[in-house]
């Protein structure tokens, strides 16, 4: 792993996002969701033999994706579950992929949806958001489940304050079943997710950077276009991580009202429609398909942002 300088470590997550978005004119984040059965045949090798060989295949594939998308995206978002499923070999592969993404000057958002209380929350925050001796934090940011309440989130915010990292709290998620809980009406008629959004805004008050963006962001599904304007109103200084473009059916144009807090106030993670784009193509050039899909989506999202 490459050590990060003191000045780089201490810099504010929101400011780093703003700088990356301005430099690349992109809000695109590529999700790294490796699955053996979907990898190009040439990269699978002996992956079927066990976790160690599967982890090597994941590493090869994800590093290749980084090379292909780096000109078009500001960050990668490794999904922890796919790496954890392979045990220690998978976690080693994750560390290698994170290091490779950093060498390509990409931000790293760890998608782990962690949430707990007390010492357990502090351990999660330390594992993913704080320096590990001479090594930088594993992630520049981590997805967090806030539905356990403020005492579960505070250890993560404290880590952000110390290390210059960020979190994205699940507020209104992109899955269809989110309505089962997140849309429940409170006594004043508001849906539960809006109350959670207000809490997220409050938790982020003390970690606002020079560009006006908080290190405490929110996950808002692009698959709920009716909720986007309300989410931005409730969360005026949070970076919104907005999944759902592509395979889940949302379009970049659905996001326009989210960008009113600036071009860097929204990040758009896309996984399947980019990293497995070649599976929908007639030729076998998986590298070309991935690069072209990333370029197209970068341009579409930037145009939708209006900046």
Other CB atoms within 10 A of residue 133 CB: 6
- pLDDT tens digits, 234-288: 999 999 999 999 888 889 999 999 999 999 999 999 999 999 999 887 667 999 9
Residue 190 in contact with residue 201, Cβ under 8 Å?
A: no
Helical ranges in the chain per DSSP H: 6-10, 13-24, 41-44, 51-69, 80-84, 87-103, 118-129, 150-163, 179-182, 192-203, 225-234, 272-275, 286-305
Give me the CATH number covering residue 300: 3.20.20.70
**pLDDT, mean of residues 59-79:** 98
Task: Quote the pLDDT of residue 280.
Answer: 81
Domain housing 25: 6-305
Annotated catalytic residue 172: no
1 is a domain residue:
no
Q: Where is average pLDDT lowest: 122-126, 129-133, 155-159? A: 129-133
| Catalytic position from the list 24, 77, 113, 303 | 113
Distance CA(301)–CA(297), nearest Å, equals 6
Distance CA(158)–CA(125), nearest Å, equals 9
Cα–Cα–Cα angle for 168, 2, 116, rounded to 5 degrees: 30
Helix (H, G, I), strand (E, B) or coil at 14: helix
Task: Label residue 259 exposed, middle or buried (CB < 10 Å: 0-12, 13-18, 19+).
Answer: buried
pTM of the model: 0.93
267 is a domain residue:
yes
Count of structural domains within the chain: 1
> Closest by alpha carbon to 271, among 27, 6, 5, 65?
65
251 is a domain residue:
yes
Q: How confident is the model at residue 48 (pLDDT cuts 50, 70, 90)?
A: confident
231 is a domain residue:
yes
> Closest by alpha carbon to 278, among 114, 38, 5, 77?
38
Residue 297 in contact with residue 270, Cβ under 8 Å?
A: yes
Task: Quote the pLDDT of residue 44.
Answer: 86
**pLDDT, mean of residues 171-184:** 91
Report the percent of the chain where pLDDT is more than 70. Answer: 96
Q: What is the mean pLDDT of the chain?
A: 93
20 is a domain residue:
yes
């Amino acid at each position: 792993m490459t050590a990060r300088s003191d000045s780089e470590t201490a810099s504010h997550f929101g400011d780093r996002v703003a700088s990356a978005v301005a430099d690349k004119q992109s809000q695109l984040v590529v999700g790294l969701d490796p699955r053996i059965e979907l990898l190009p045949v040439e990269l699978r090798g002996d992956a079927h033999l066990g976790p160690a060989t599967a982890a090597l295949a994941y590493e090869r594939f994800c590093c290749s994706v980084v090379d292909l998308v780096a000109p078009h995206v500001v960050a990668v978002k490794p999904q922890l579950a796919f790496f954890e499923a392979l045990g220690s070999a998978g976690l080693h592969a994750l560390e290698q992929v994170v290091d490779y993404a950093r060498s390509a000057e990409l931000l790293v958002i760890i998608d782990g949806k962690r949430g707990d209380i007390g010492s357990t929350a502090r351990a999660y925050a330390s594992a993913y958001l704080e320096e590990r001796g001479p090594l930088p934090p594993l992630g520049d940011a981590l997805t967090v489940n806030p539905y356990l309440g403020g005492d579960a989130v505070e250890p993560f915010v404290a880590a952000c304050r110390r290390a210059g990292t960020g979190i994205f709290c699940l507020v209104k998620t992109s899955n269809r079943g989110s309505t089962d809980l997140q849309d429940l009406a409170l006594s004043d008629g508001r849906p539960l997710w809006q109350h959670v959004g207000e809490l997220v805004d409050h938790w982020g008050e003390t970690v606002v950077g020079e560009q006006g963006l908080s290190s405490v962001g929110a996950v808002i599904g692009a698959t709920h276009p009716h909720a986007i304007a309300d989410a931005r109103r409730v969360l005026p200084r949070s970076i919104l991580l907005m999944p759902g473009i592509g395979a889940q059916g949302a379009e970049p144009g659905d996001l326009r009202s989210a960008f009113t807090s600036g071009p860097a106030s929204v990040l758009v993670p896309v996984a399947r429609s980019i990293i497995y784009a070649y599976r929908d193509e007639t030729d076998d050039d998986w590298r070309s398909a991935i690069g072209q899909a990333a370029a197209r989506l970068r341009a579409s999202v930037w145009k939708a942002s209006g900046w």
